[in-house]
Amino acid sequence: MNFKVLGTGCSNCKKLELLTKELVTELNIDAQVEKVEDIEEIMRTGVMSTPALLVDGKLIVSGYVPSRDELTNLLKNI
């Protein structure tokens, strides 16, 4: 699996990256977590609001940092 956290480096983007990495480890998900900060690359994905999380190219979260419980549920159901 490929996880991409999209964001230019704001505090919320950093929070989503950290939370995603923590949950990937805790849930024992075999995934690579990548942080994408390049605005042109973010724009190519079509995402209009950051922070955002893509899982294998599918948009899971956009425009906010989900709670730990919400993100856990999202990741368990992918």
Per-residue model confidence as pLDDT tens digits over 39-57: 999 999 999 899 999 999 9
In a domain, 77, yes or no: no
Among the listed residues 6, 13, 19, 61, the single catalytic one is 13
Share of the chain above pLDDT 90, in %: 92
Give the residue numbers spanning the domain of 20. Answer: 2-64
Give the residue among 21, 41, 23 at the shortest CA–CA distance from 32. Answer: 21
Q: Which of 1, 2, 8, 10 is catalytic?
A: 10
Told to judge if 10 belongs to the known catalytic residues of this protein, a careful annotator would answer yes
Structural domain contains residue 45: yes
Phi, psi of 7, deg, nearest 5: 170, 150
Global pTM reads: 0.93
Q: What integer is the mean pLDDT of 63-76? A: 96
* CATH number, domain containing residue 45: 3.40.30.10
Q: What kind and span of H or E run contains 35?
A: strand 32-36
| Sign of the CA dihedral running 54, 58, 63, 66 | negative
User: What is the reported pLDDT for 14?
Assistant: 95
Does residue 17 have a pLDDT over 90?
yes
pLDDT tier for residue 16 given thresholds of 50, 70 and 90:
very high
Res 73: pLDDT: 95
* Residue 59 known to be catalytic: no
- Helical ranges in 1-78 per DSSP H: 11-26, 39-45, 68-76
Comparing CA positions, the residue from 34, 73, 68 lying closest to residue 52 is 34
Domain count, the chain: 1
